Homo-oligomer: A and B are copies of this chain.
């Protein structure tokens, strides 16, 4: 018998038929003897409908009132799931953010969870009642409804799992787990049985959109084991021994459980970056600060940074990447700062993609990067920039080569599934 927090996203809650299906999945867990709490998102599309109402009412909505409007979507699905569970003969009740309560900081529409009083929830679960909690919301110290920002329901689920000391947090999505790479591109992609928090953070930050980065960070901090699995498959109730999805766990647990695992866990890609190069920047102390200071002031998130040796002595070329959505603003900031930086030319290129190889195994092994460079060079893929972290190597390539690079690297690191085509 375990204590489990289950979380269902908007696609799983879209309409009464799907809510009934979710009720069946939840009831299987309760029938298996587990103590169950469920965190729900709003019906897919409903949050957009409510957000649009706010936008139509005013271009600058008061975030506190925006929260009052938008939080209603999860309130509806929490009530409906309770009703659907009761109609299956289960005991269930909804616990709204202000009822538990889930205390957050004051920052409306982008609040962070401060503290959850899980005692009422634990008492209910221990009595055999299923607790249904609307995700994405809480209550401020002033007693007003707050929301956590888009995708905040994953974070709600992890925070509640931590508060009730759950054995695991099952996040039901429209994919059935975390894959070695995007299975829509690489047919030989394999579902991972386990992945560490650190790997998941790196994979999420480079484009694998399975979980909110924020929720993974919180799970790592609080030591909450997450399972990612699908609400649209018929795998039945996962037992404690055999879990159908991907478990996201700590590195310690990983080392104990999975000695034979690959050096590389997964390969992610991100086409939403753009490359900027400033040529002939003076090679002297403070020059780089002159570039990135104004960008930081403009809240532009700079990712890869490479400083090349320039052709002339005392000069250098500086290349870096920014999200493509920030490209125009970045160019404006740099053009305005041309005098103080003292560059020659400002060149931008949005036709690039970042390919990242991720794995906790690489920390203790050499050769990961050189395998990457050789495999890409063999197929004529030119590397424009490189960055590394303890568990990740990222390269910037021309965007058109993205799919080729993913397939080549998936094979080179021995990740291909044996039974796939």
Contact = CB atoms under 8 A, between A and B. Distances in A.
A87 B58 contact: yes
A64 B94 CA distance: 9
Contacts of A69: 75-76, 79-80, 83
A101 B345 CA distance: 64
A341 interface: no
A72 B71 CA distance: 9
A62 interface: yes
B65 A86 contact: yes
Interface string A85-102: 011000001101011000
Interface string A43-86: 00000001001101111111011111101110110111011101
A175 interface: no
Interface in A9-28: 16, 19-20
Which range contains the number of A residues in contact with the other chain?
A: 35 or more
A43 to B, nearest CB: 9
Contacts of A54: 79-80, 83
A144 B80 CA distance: 15
B68 A94 contact: yes
Contacts of A83: 54, 57-58, 61-62, 65-66, 69
Which of A57, A69, A145 gathers most chain B CB within 10 Å?
A57
Which of A54, A62, A83 gathers most chain B CB within 10 Å?
A83
A84 B66 CA distance: 11
Contact of A87 (B60, B93, B98, B99): B60
